[in-house]
């Protein structure tokens, strides 16, 4: 991207936008480390396989900021990995990058997770607040009493290709279909499913990320089923660092997380532009108990 519209004065730097795929992963990793983000180079590589985006570089090629978008479907996308150099906070770089990836995503409904301090920026770009996300993390301890088995259900590992029933559950909970994203996450994950009368009705995925593992997405109709599929993932990581981000603020599912060492450490805000994918949710429908990640939601 060399046209004038891809260049801008940002603070003391003459910045230029380029495709994020053209930037060495080590440079992207260094930027996220400067913010204390847990992403490893491997985590960046996996996100780059799923999505696209932009990076801003200065005259000598140093990375000043990044933003990515991830196509869930022809009608929906998530925005993430929006980072700017700490010395350039408040200089308009995050807006420039976000406007760029929104243009790439086109007319899709866009969803993102943001810190509360950045809410004003996204409001000005047409996003509206929808839900609070609670981040739980810690070293898993199994001192908690093992939950009772799910009623009239079979719990077993998810194996084989992407199950259409899993796609249907995820679409209902996420608010839009995202087969490519879910397939990519599944390839990196071990999974647990809950079946009733031969029908998949809940699932949880767990994969390596950052300091340890992340559990998500987790989809179930109620707390009891969410616990039934999440407990095996927690048990498999006993003594290790695990993170789970959830829309659930209270209840028995949250109590399980806290009892197994995953304490509440932060909250973020889900915002969307172009529609509200949560609006169609009905009582008793599959719900999201664990997010795939901030970037993939």
- pLDDT 10s digits, 243-294: 999 999 999 999 999 999 999 999 999 999 998 988 877 778 999 999 999 9
State the average pLDDT over residues 115-133. Answer: 96
State the average pLDDT over residues 2-13. Answer: 75
Structure tokens at 122: 């996204």
Cβ count within 10 A of residue 267:
13
Per-residue pLDDT for 51 more than 60?
A: yes
pLDDT for the residue numbered 150: 85
Termini Cα distance of the chain: 29
The reply to whether 4-107 and 134-290 are identical in fold is yes
Q: Which of 44, 64, 46 is nearest to 55 (CA)?
A: 64
| Whole-number Å distance between alpha carbons of 136 and 244 | 5
Percent of the chain with pLDDT over 90: 86
pLDDT for the residue numbered 23: 97
Q: Which of 205, 198, 207 is nearest to 159 (CA)?
A: 205
3-state secondary structure of 206: strand
pLDDT for the residue numbered 279: 80
| Whole-number Å distance between alpha carbons of 215 and 151 | 23
State the average pLDDT over residues 24-53. Answer: 97
pLDDT band at residue 4 under the 50/70/90 scheme: very low
CATH number of 4-107: 3.40.50.720, 3.10.105.10, 3.40.630.30, 3.40.50.970?
3.40.630.30
Q: What is the DSSP letter of 88?
A: G
pLDDT for the residue numbered 183: 94
Residues 273-283: pLDDT tens digits?
Answer: 998 988 877 77
pLDDT band at residue 5 under the 50/70/90 scheme: low
- CB-CB contact of 217 with 107 (8 Å): no
pTM over 0.85: yes
pLDDT band at residue 3 under the 50/70/90 scheme: very low
State the average pLDDT over residues 90-114. Answer: 95
Domain ranges of the chain: 4-107, 134-290
DSSP H helices in the chain: 25-34, 41-50, 93-105, 119-124, 164-174, 179-188, 223-236, 252-259
134-290: CATH topology = Aminopeptidase (3.40.630)
């Amino acid at each position: 991207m060399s046209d004038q519209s891809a260049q801008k004065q940002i603070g003391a730097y003459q910045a230029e936008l380029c495709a994020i795929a053209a930037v060495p992963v080590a440079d992207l990793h260094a930027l996220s480390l400067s913010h204390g983000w847990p992403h490893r180079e491997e985590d960046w590589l996996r996100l780059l396989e799923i999505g696209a985006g932009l990076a801003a570089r200065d005259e000598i090629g140093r990375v000043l900021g990044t933003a990515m978008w991830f196509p869930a479907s022809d009608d929906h996308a998530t925005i993430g990995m929006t980072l700017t150099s700490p010395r350039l906070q408040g200089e308009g770089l995050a807006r420039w990058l976000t406007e760029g990836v929104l243009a790439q995503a086109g007319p899709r409904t866009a969803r993102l997770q943001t810190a509360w301090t950045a809410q004003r920026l996204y409001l000005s770009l047409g996003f509206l607040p929808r839900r609070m996300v609670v981040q739980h993390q810690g070293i898993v301890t199994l001192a908690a009493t093992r939950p009772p088995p799910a009623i009239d259900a079979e719990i077993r590992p998810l194996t084989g290709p992407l199950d259409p029933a899993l796609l249907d559950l995820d679409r209902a909970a996420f608010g839009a279909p995202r087969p490519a994203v879910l397939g990519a996450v599944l390839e990196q994950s071990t999974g647990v499913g809950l079946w009733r009368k031969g029908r998949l009705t809940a699932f949880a995925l767990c994969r390596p990320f950052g300091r340890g593992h992340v559990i998500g997405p987790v989809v179930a109709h109620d707390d009891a089923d969410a616990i039934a599929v999440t407990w095996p993932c927690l048990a498999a990581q006993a003594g290790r660092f695990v993170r789970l981000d959830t829309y659930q603020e209270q209840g028995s599912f949250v109590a399980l997380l806290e009892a197994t060492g995953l304490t509440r450490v932060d909250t973020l805000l889900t915002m969307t532009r172009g529609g509200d994918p949560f609006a169609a949710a009905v009582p008793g429908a599959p719900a999201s108990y664990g997010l795939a990640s901030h970037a993939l939601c």
